[in-house]
Structure 1
Amino acid sequence: MSAQNTARLNIAGLNCASCVRRAETALSKVPNVTEAHVNLASKSADVHYDGALSPVLDALRGAGFGVETQEVLLDVEGASCASCVGRIEKAALAQPGVMAAAMNLASGQLRVQMAGGDAGDIARAVTDAGYHARAHTPDTPQEDRTEAELRSLRRDLTLAVVLTLPVFILAMGGHLIPAFHHWIAMTIGDTANNIIQFVLTSAVLVGPGRRFYRHGVPLLLHGAPDMNALVAMGTFAAWAYSTVATFAPGLLPEGARGVYFEAAAVIVTLILLGRLLEARAKGRTGAAIKALMGLRPDTARVLTDAGEIDRPVAELQVGDIIRLRPGERIATDGEVTGGDSYVDESMITGEPVPVQKHLGAPVTGGTINGQGTLTYRATRVGSDTVLARIIDMVQAAQGAKLPIQGMVDRITAWFVPAVMAAAALTVVLWLIFGPDPALTFALVAGVSVLIIACPCAMGLATPTSIMVGTGRAAELGVLFRKGDALQSLHEVAVVAFDKTGTLTEGKPALTSVALADGVDRDALLRQVAAVEALSEHPIARAIADAAKGPLPTVDGFQSITGYGLRGTVQGADLLVGAERLMLREGIEIAALAPAAADLARTGATPVFAAVNGQLAAVLGVSDTVKPSARAAIAALHAQGVKTAMITGDTQATADAIAADLGIDHVVAGVLPEGKVAAVQDLMSHGKLAFVGDGINDAPALARADVGIAIGTGTDVAIEAADVVLMSGDVGGVERAFAISHATLRNIRQNLFWAFGYNVLLIPVAAGALYIFGGPLLSPMLAAGAMALSSVFVVTNALRLRRAGGTA
């Protein structure tokens, strides 16, 4: 039976006594809940349950409540292989309130999703499992921890080399120069030689090799061995056997009294060398985060009543007025209050062309001012800035676990015990069937199997590729808000685009006005513009901007979502909107229908205006297609991906734009709520990505298999998306696909190497080649091969730093 757990859940939507009863009833019906108490005052529930928490959460959500969750990040030390990852996650998931746990071996961080519970309990549980866990401290960057690890490894490796080199020379020198062995025998003697090797090797194991025993032995005693345990067992077996052969040779058969101190010492040295190379390479996987953090200036020049003062960026407040000189980096997000200049935003958006900034223009912290001087008012500071949010997104994506990792987890769950069993079987078979001295052969083969099969490469195969791939994407202005979107995007068969602001610039202009008989153009345009000026829609702004002179007052303004606008202007009742608004209100449009059709055929959007129930005009509004749209559609087609466009515009207008861009399928005349239905219909053709930028795109972004938000769009759209294109350039879609394909290809290469390496070399280490007249693999060579396997995986992942081309 599972252990009893208790979780305190914060419940959203708990407003009255009936809500309490509904929540408690829902919880009581969950089979694994033994007791539940809901508290209206604290809006929480104390739940006693067995097993997993997810059925409890599902029951509350099914009853119409939300459950508040939080994400906790822990730094974990001592994790070295894929089996460690599984044990750490299992320890975290066993804690009350934990919904999900993902350990990233490459970054050494555990990301936990909680609904109740205590982060301290999780850290203690992971520590009790044999690892050291503590709450993540943002003021200790990943690169600082990496540098500390590198210093420790350099120190240990240097000492190991100094101690191991004499052992290696004393033991192996005679194989290279036969006279050297005779010289040793005639000078210090074989016994003294063995004692010197014993002393030096013992120093290696107690000193530089202590890390393997410190982590490996407790886990071995817990019945959960990892790669450190394998190394500890292998080196201890070689050392112990050699120690007996040196000080109590009578306990061994006469032909099996050889010593293998050099094997134990060299194994430790080579694995430390591999760890050092691996740590250096892993440090480079976080280069993108380090570069982003480096964009933050230390101080800003703030204008105060006492004059200009340099203030630390961490102390800036919203509303501060900051002066920016030529060539300086912008300290925080803001709005220009004076001056004119061009700003290089390439480090945020990936776009190389500087952007002009003038009065009222937004500026982004971390970008670089050109030759002009600006003053700007701080609008966001600290963790609310765009740069801070980008860093958070990238870090979250880098810590994600892709579905492909599930296969690795299932295999590594039994891999280390299987290796130990294989090593034991190898020893037994050599003792039974091996030639004399069988004990020596059994020792060499058994130690080689233990050492060569460490699953480090398996654990690093996926997370290192994710870290480098998402970091490279960020450099190109593509943010994977959810790491699993990397894999999902790779499987997408159809990409559907919103039109306005996504495929087009989102800055439409009034291009034509067709009037009904007897209507005054200027008077009508002012009336229509007065109504449109109260709307935030891009088409409404285009019409409002086209009117001349002061606009009249509007009474009774009403926005009719998906249809248009209504208002009373100068005593007249105005309706302005799409053709469907006129049809809904029973207004005859036949007189201007041909003009509307002509506008639609040219790609313009027809907007109808009616005064006092009579059609007065049809206005043509055109929106320029983004320069990158055609190339993006062509690139997707080249990858075998189908394209679609979903828009509320007329069918004729949508068809004209789709024909121009080469889009395969068009869904037009769609109301905002209809976009979700359109997305669902298109999903029948395969996994679908939806690209949009507006508030009305948020439901469709959330419903699609992969939601891609244009970064210049609304916060609501961005929050609903899986991928964010910071530049607003639809060409970023192709870059996102390129990064996804490259990363998944890289992961498969790494997994092929990691699994193939073990499948091929474990039999070799066990002595398969010896049976056919080949060599018996030395434990030293096994250690070198094991260390190089991890280095290969990390180095291969680093190739992704060149993926995706240029922005």
Structure 2
Amino acid sequence: METLTLDHKIKKETFPVEGMSCASCASSVESILSHTEGVNKASVNLATNSVLVEYNEATPSSNLKAALQSVGFDLIIDAENREEAQEEVKQKHYQQVKFRLIWSAIFTIPIVVIGMFFMDWEPGKYVSLALAIPVLFYFGRSFFINSWKQAKHAKANMDTLVALSTGIAFLFSVFNTFFPEFWLSHGIPPHVYYEAAVVIITFISLGKLLEERAKSSTSTAIKKLMGLQPKTVRVIIDGSEQEIAISEVKTGYTLIVKPGEKIAVDGTVSKGSSYVDESMITGEPVPVVKEKDQKVFAGTVNQKGSFQFTAEKVGKETLLSQIIKLVQEAQGSKAPVQKLTDKIASIFVPTIIAISLITFITWMILGQQDAFTHALLTSIAVLVIACPCALGLATPTAIMVGVGKGAQNNILIKDAESLEMAHKVNAVILDKTGTITQGKPTVADIRWENEVEASILLAIESQSEHPLASAVVNHLKEDQVTSAMITDFESITGKGVKAKAENGQTYYVGSQRLINELGIALESSLETSIDQWQNGAKTVIFFADEQQILAVITITDQIKVSSASAIERLKDMGLEVFMLTGDNQQTAQTVARQVGVTDFKAEVLPSEKADFVKELQQKGKIVAMVGDGINDSHALAQADVSIAMGHGSDIAMDVAKMTLITSDLEYIPKALKLSDKTVKGIRQNLFWAFIYNLIGIPIAAGLLYPINGFLLDPMIAGAAMAFSSVSVVLNSLRLNSIKL
């Protein structure tokens, strides 16, 4: 590996990788890139088929691509359409696997029927041969191609075992088809095993399709974030309004933002004012007022007003782009996904090959007159009975059933990694807004001094652009209040609104600051109540005329009914529960007290949420993060297990490994229990996948021959292999009966 000097700047970039199918592939990609000149470090994320590379900026990315292409993989380095290209490749590959499985099954069925029920029909051998050739060498060619790639680098994986067992079984059957007299002269029936070879290919192809199906349904998180930016923007150039592509925006341009539009880049308001929904960045539900000289950020959404702003940060410098970068790095920095089956296969495959060779050599030395015959039959039987069909199905079948069970219970689970990890969780971090609370402002109470003017309040708030106004309007309409006629409506920026009624009186709706400026005194009892409301995490709004207060309105973001009981259940499971929020200390303390959380942090920035996750991880905690906003996405990507609330932002749901369709927190402990049951199912499947091998391999090798003269027929070995697959599937289906 090259030692990088101070003159060389290190560049971090995430690239999609094509051609990875297992942990061995991921390890190869890491190893090859890490030893490529100019590369400091490479970390593969098999779940996203991507690699995070730290490399010298002077090193062309085409060098990285060439290094991987030389060993059969590929790197997508197109900077503009990288994610789209990866998605297209994934969909194409899924359709190819599906096509191969369907046609493999079509050709396999008649071969199995002939092999099982018409084994003495002489022409059946030639029919089976003709049907087996396309199954092995066209529809199943990837197994042979991949095993050859592994062999060139002195490595072996499950593809190696599949290729060896099916290839030898096929060649042995071809020999018996055309030269049956060789075995007849030794008094041995010349059996053919075409059905064993093709069934192996078809079963393994099914397992691969199940895995690809899970992967293909997972959309790209970065693509969701990119969707927050408009494709085009309106700018003022030389005094005229023009529409240009967002990629053409430069620092210093003046952009126009109309009601309902997304803000394209970071900048400062130069003209006009409006309320902007920044919940996708801050996670807080209440839009904030933006007026001259205030900052606006890419990806946030303008409300009813319009304004102009000066672009200050464009392209990769915007806050949204920084969030994208943080999510990419958090995903890429995770350890490569080490599937349990591939871990076992890395030992299992070479061991079986060695046992088969030892079996052959032992029989050649000790087998006396039928040494070659017995050596060949036993070594093939070892390979056939050890074929990892059940091993290939063990994880995906349990995952598919577990995922289906989760979906029935409003829990969407993306992959095996999250299921394997979730049952180990011992610390849960909950976002406040939209997770513990509803995330929607509602009127808690209206204290009237004179309820006659309710229709005037409704009329004023109906015209107000303030985000809390809609909560008041909804509340009054539920009380069957009808709107009055008003004139001279005016917005008092940062304080409230005012308007005239038909009686000529001027009315005001706004903050305590507005009331103080009008010179309206507050009674001591009311001031005490206001303090209590604010301590209870409520926002206070005043409705007044020019002389007195007519009503006091309290607005709150209500705590979900299930939050306290769900947190109590998590504690009962022995988990530590933490709450993080961007809200102020007073509000955070009130909410934490009401739901029973003793450990919480307030006024936390998005990056600080991820830092807190890291802090717990460094203490040895297995951390689950639960959130619903873009501001949670970095922390969700960093956590060991990430859970998104279904009503939250697309990016939160996309980054998270689990999504709760419901907003009920009671489903978090259910998700953890489902993980525990599914992992147990996977382990049981692996037991059934291997028990036949552990019993059958010594018998296949001829262990019983010196005792009772028994040699395992490769046909029986193939049946045992098939039965182990049936056992795995049946055991996976048992997960449907569990209660969460």
Compared with structure 1, are the counterparts of its residues 800 and 219 closer, same or farther at alpha carbon in structure 2 (3 Å cutoff)? Answer: same
Match of 2:700?
765
Q: Distance in 1 between matches of 2:419 and 2:691?
A: 24
1:786 corresponds to 2:721: yes
Decide which of 232, 243, 258 is 2:187's aligned counterpart.
258
Cα contact 1:628–1:731 (8 A) shared by 2 = yes
Q: Distance in 1 between matches of 2:463 and 2:623?
A: 35
| Correspondence 1:7-156 to 2 at 5 A | 28=8, 59-61=10-12, 67=13, 69=14, 71=16, 86=24, 90=28, 111=49, 126=72, 146=98, 149-156=101-108
Compared with structure 1, are the counterparts of its residues 136 and 508 closer, same or farther at alpha carbon in structure 2 (3 Å cutoff)? Answer: closer
Decide which of 432, 441, 446 is 1:499's aligned counterpart.
432
Cα contact 1:239–1:261 (8 A) shared by 2 = no
Q: Distance in 2 between matches of 1:443 and 1:236?
A: 12
Cα contact 2:111–2:195 (8 A) shared by 1 = no
Cα contact 1:494–1:685 (8 A) shared by 2 = no
C-alpha deviations, 1:416-438, integer Å up to 9, x for none? 34322211211222333446544
C-alpha deviations, 1:465-486, integer Å up to 9, x for none? 4445445545554444676333
Q: Name the aligned partner's letter for residue 269 of structure 1.
A: E
Q: Distance in 2 between matches of 1:119 and 1:540?
A: 55
Which runs of 5 or more structure 2 residues have no equivalent in the other structure? Answer: 54-60, 75-85, 220-333, 477-482, 500-505, 514-521
Match of 2:308?
none
Q: Name the aligned partner's letter for residue 605 of structure 1.
A: K
Q: Distance in 2 between matches of 1:121 and 1:282?
A: 27
C-alpha deviations, 1:64-91, integer Å up to 9, x for none? xxx3x564667x9xx9xx7xx7469847
Q: Distance in 2 between matches of 1:206 and 1:244?
A: 17
1:713 corresponds to 2:648: yes
Q: Distance in 2 between matches of 1:691 and 1:669?
A: 16
Q: What TM-score, normalized to structure 2? A: 0.58
Compared with structure 1, are the counterparts of its residues 100 and 757 closer, same or farther at alpha carbon in structure 2 (3 Å cutoff)? Answer: farther
Q: Distance in 2 between matches of 1:504 and 1:488?
A: 27
C-alpha deviations, 1:592-612, integer Å up to 9, x for none? 7753564478x553659999x
With 650-659 and 568-577 compared, the bigger mean Cα shift is at: 568-577
C-alpha deviations, 1:178-199, integer Å up to 9, x for none? xxxxxxxxxxxxxxxxxx6xx7
Compared with structure 1, are the counterparts of its residues 276 and 231 closer, same or farther at alpha carbon in structure 2 (3 Å cutoff)? Answer: closer
Cα contact 2:642–2:657 (8 A) shared by 1 = yes
Compared with structure 1, are the counterparts of its residues 657 and 405 closer, same or farther at alpha carbon in structure 2 (3 Å cutoff)? Answer: same
Compared with structure 1, are the counterparts of its residues 759 and 642 closer, same or farther at alpha carbon in structure 2 (3 Å cutoff)? Answer: same
C-alpha deviations, 1:602-643, integer Å up to 9, x for none? x553659999xxxx9996434444344355445534544343
Cα contact 1:496–1:690 (8 A) shared by 2 = yes
C-alpha deviations, 1:651-706, integer Å up to 9, x for none? 78666655665x34342654546655665666658222232334554554455443
1:448 corresponds to 2:381: yes
By how many angstroms is 1:743 displaced?
Answer: 3.1
1:595 corresponds to 2:524: no
Q: Distance in 2 between matches of 1:407 and 1:784?
A: 25
Cα contact 1:288–1:475 (8 A) shared by 2 = no
Q: Distance in 2 between matches of 1:691 and 1:248?
A: 66
1:208 corresponds to 2:143: no
Match of 2:668?
733
Match of 1:510?
443
Compared with structure 1, are the counterparts of its residues 764 and 248 closer, same or farther at alpha carbon in structure 2 (3 Å cutoff)? Answer: closer
Q: Name the aligned partner's letter for residue 447 of structure 1.
A: I
SS of residue in 2 equivalent to 1:261: coil
Match of 2:250?
none
Q: What TM-score, normalized to structure 1? A: 0.54
Q: Distance in 2 between matches of 1:121 and 1:236?
A: 35
Q: Name the aligned partner's letter for residue 258 of structure 1.
A: G
Compared with structure 1, are the counterparts of its residues 422 and 680 closer, same or farther at alpha carbon in structure 2 (3 Å cutoff)? Answer: closer
By how many angstroms is 1:779 displaced?
Answer: 1.4
Q: Name the aligned partner's letter for residue 158 of structure 1.
A: P
Q: Name the aligned partner's letter for residue 636 of structure 1.
A: L
Match of 2:280?
none
Compared with structure 1, are the counterparts of its residues 675 and 618 closer, same or farther at alpha carbon in structure 2 (3 Å cutoff)? Answer: farther
1:621 corresponds to 2:545: no
Compared with structure 1, are the counterparts of its residues 730 and 164 closer, same or farther at alpha carbon in structure 2 (3 Å cutoff)? Answer: closer
By how many angstroms is 1:158 displaced?
Answer: 0.8
Compared with structure 1, are the counterparts of its residues 259 and 555 closer, same or farther at alpha carbon in structure 2 (3 Å cutoff)? Answer: same
Cα contact 1:530–1:552 (8 A) shared by 2 = no
Decide which of 665, 668, 690 is 2:625's aligned counterpart.
690
Compared with structure 1, are the counterparts of its residues 595 and 147 closer, same or farther at alpha carbon in structure 2 (3 Å cutoff)? Answer: same
Cα contact 2:425–2:575 (8 A) shared by 1 = yes
Q: Distance in 2 between matches of 1:727 and 1:434?
A: 67
Match of 1:643?
577
Cα contact 2:461–2:470 (8 A) shared by 1 = no
Q: Distance in 2 between matches of 1:699 and 1:244?
A: 65
C-alpha deviations, 1:96-145, integer Å up to 9, x for none? 999777889xxxxx9455985699997996499xxxxx996788795896
Q: Name the aligned partner's letter for residue 11 of structure 2.
A: L
Compared with structure 1, are the counterparts of its residues 645 and 139 closer, same or farther at alpha carbon in structure 2 (3 Å cutoff)? Answer: closer
SS of residue in 1 equivalent to 2:688: helix
RMSD over aligned Cα, in angstroms? 5.8
SS of residue in 2 equivalent to 1:484: helix
Compared with structure 1, are the counterparts of its residues 242 and 689 closer, same or farther at alpha carbon in structure 2 (3 Å cutoff)? Answer: closer
C-alpha deviations, 1:399-430, integer Å up to 9, x for none? xx996735543443454343222112112223
Match of 1:56?
none
Match of 2:678?
743
Q: Name the aligned partner's letter for residue 718 of structure 2.
A: A
Cα contact 2:46–2:336 (8 A) shared by 1 = no
SS of residue in 1 equivalent to 2:132: coil
| Correspondence 1:295-444 to 2 at 5 A | 405-413=338-346, 415-434=348-367, 437-444=370-377
SS of residue in 2 equivalent to 1:501: helix
1:268 corresponds to 2:194: yes
Cα contact 1:287–1:471 (8 A) shared by 2 = no
With 486-495 and 791-800 compared, the bigger mean Cα shift is at: 791-800
Cα contact 1:482–1:722 (8 A) shared by 2 = yes
Compared with structure 1, are the counterparts of its residues 138 and 651 closer, same or farther at alpha carbon in structure 2 (3 Å cutoff)? Answer: closer
Q: Distance in 2 between matches of 1:544 and 1:696?
A: 29
SS of residue in 1 equivalent to 2:647: coil
| Correspondence 1:130-209 to 2 at 5 A | 146=98, 149-159=101-111, 161-162=113-114, 165-166=117-118, 168-169=119-120, 201=125, 204-205=128-129, 207-208=131-132
Match of 2:518?
none
Q: Distance in 1 between matches of 2:342 and 2:605?
A: 42
Q: Distance in 2 between matches of 1:248 and 1:700?
A: 66
SS of residue in 2 equivalent to 1:645: strand
Q: Distance in 2 between matches of 1:219 and 1:650?
A: 56
Q: Distance in 1 between matches of 2:466 and 2:17?
A: 41
Q: Distance in 2 between matches of 1:554 and 1:740?
A: 53
SS of residue in 2 equivalent to 1:505: strand
Q: Name the aligned partner's letter for residue 456 of structure 1.
A: C
Cα contact 2:385–2:697 (8 A) shared by 1 = yes
1:459 corresponds to 2:411: no
Q: Name the aligned partner's letter for residue 418 of structure 1.
A: T
Q: Distance in 1 between matches of 2:612 and 2:457?
A: 36
C-alpha deviations, 1:121-176, integer Å up to 9, x for none? 97996499xxxxx996788795896366334433343145436755x448xxxxxx
SS of residue in 2 equivalent to 1:767: coil
